Every structure is written in C-alpha cells, then in structure tokens.
C-alpha cells in the first residue's frame, strides 16, 4: 500500500539489486515503478525520458554487468554503462529529478592494500570499469542532482552471482577453483536496499 507521496522509478528493477530495492521501497510505502528489459531499454532515449518522467527519484540499477563480456562487447558496454547514463543525467536535469546511480568498485585498479574511499582516484583496468567510470563522469557533467554509490561483489536471491555459484558447486561436490588474487567484500543486495 502506498503511504508516501514520493514516486520512485527503478531502472533495471528486475535485476539482482533492483528486485530487492523495489521490494524494500514498496514495504516502506513508496510508489514504485520498475523498468527493465525486454520492455524497457535504457539506451532508448524516448523510453528513458518516459521512465524518468514517472518519478521524483530515479534509481539506476540498469547496467551491462558482464565484466568478461565487456572486453569483446566494448561498444555495447559503453552504450549502456556510459552513454545511457549521460542521457539519464541530461533528462533528469531537464525534468528536475534526483538520480541515485549504482556504480562499482571496478572503477579502481584493486592495487591498494587498504579499502578504497570515495576520494581515491579511479584507475579502472578493465573495459567494464572504464565504461562505469565514464557513466559516473557523464552523470556528474550533466548537472543533475545525483548520488553515486559504488557497490562490490553483490549477491542476492534474484540473480546469478559468485556466492550463489560457490554454494551450488559445494552442494554438487564439484571441485572449487577460484582466483586467489582478488580481495573484496561480498555485499547482500538486501542490505544495500535498506540504506
């Protein structure tokens, strides 16, 4: 039941994080509209403007998230993670909307021996990281009202993720082979949604 007059649009609202965000916002009485593939394409400026126009706050969870795939589909990753986010910012500026943009720790190179803070200079080493950083920069350049949240190693019930893969392999007694040169903090999408 809607008990709050703030309307929220969630782009990528049927993905792993978007699902938990939508559920949490609805539980708190917000009027929520969810936009996702295949009906909604963030790279379609007309659809994007219509989605932004439905709400006061837009949460952008839509992204090209296949880190390895971005290396071979760099143009598509850039179109989704950067260009579309720039268009989102321009539309939000024009319509006076707030944007909460979900980004990633991949904007950093992972070489520090301590946790990153928001003032650390970005230095992405993958196509995925470069496209996400470009999206952040275009959003900032748009002049809209925004907040960027960089999340890492997300896992949740509504998507394919590292934690789910490890649990599944452990259940099937398959040998676990994982890289040992990465450090991160697995973060439950439900915990992100509660912020």
**Cα Rg of the chain (Å, integer):** 17
Residue 97, CA atoms < 13 Å, CB-side half-sphere: 30
Q: What are the tokens at 98? A: 């707030």
Instruction: Name residues whose C-beta falls within 8 Å of residue 68's C-beta, 6 or more positions apart in sequence.
Output: none
Q: Which residues are known to be catalytic?
A: 128
What sign does the dihedral 59-63-65-70 (CA atoms) show? negative
C-alpha distance from residue 116 to each of 42, 152, 173 (Å): 29, 11, 35
Structural element, H or E, at residue 134 = helix 127-142
The C-alpha atoms of residue 14 and residue 73 are separated, in whole angstroms, by 22
Please say whether the beta carbons of 62 and 101 come within 8 A. Answer: no
The answer to whether the beta carbons of residues 28 and 79 sit under 8 Å apart is no
Which two structure tokens, joined as six digits, stand for 56?
């006061």
């Amino acid at each position: 039941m809607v008990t709050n007059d703030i309307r929220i649009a969630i782009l990528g609202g049927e993905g792993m994080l978007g699902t938990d965000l939508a559920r949490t916002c609805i539980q708190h009485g917000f009027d929520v509209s969810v936009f996702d593939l295949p009906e909604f394409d963030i790279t379609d400026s007309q659809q994007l403007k219509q989605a932004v126009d439905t709400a006061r706050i837009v949460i952008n969870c839509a992204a090209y998230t296949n880190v390895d795939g971005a290396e071979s589909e760099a143009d598509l990753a850039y179109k989704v993670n950067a260009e579309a986010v720039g268009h989102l910012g321009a539309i939000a500026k024009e319509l006076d909307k707030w944007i909460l943009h979900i980004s990633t720790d991949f904007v950093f190179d992972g070489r520090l021996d301590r946790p990153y803070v928001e003032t650390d200079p970005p230095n992405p080493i993958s196509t995925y990281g470069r496209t996400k950083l470009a999206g952040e920069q275009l959003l900032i350049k748009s002049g809209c009202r925004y907040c960027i949240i960089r999340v890492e190693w997300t896992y949740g019930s509504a998507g394919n993720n590292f934690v789910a893969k490890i649990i599944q392999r452990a259940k099937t007694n398959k040998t676990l082979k994982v890289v040992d040169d990465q450090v991160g903090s697995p973060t439950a999408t439900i915990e992100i949604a509660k912020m």
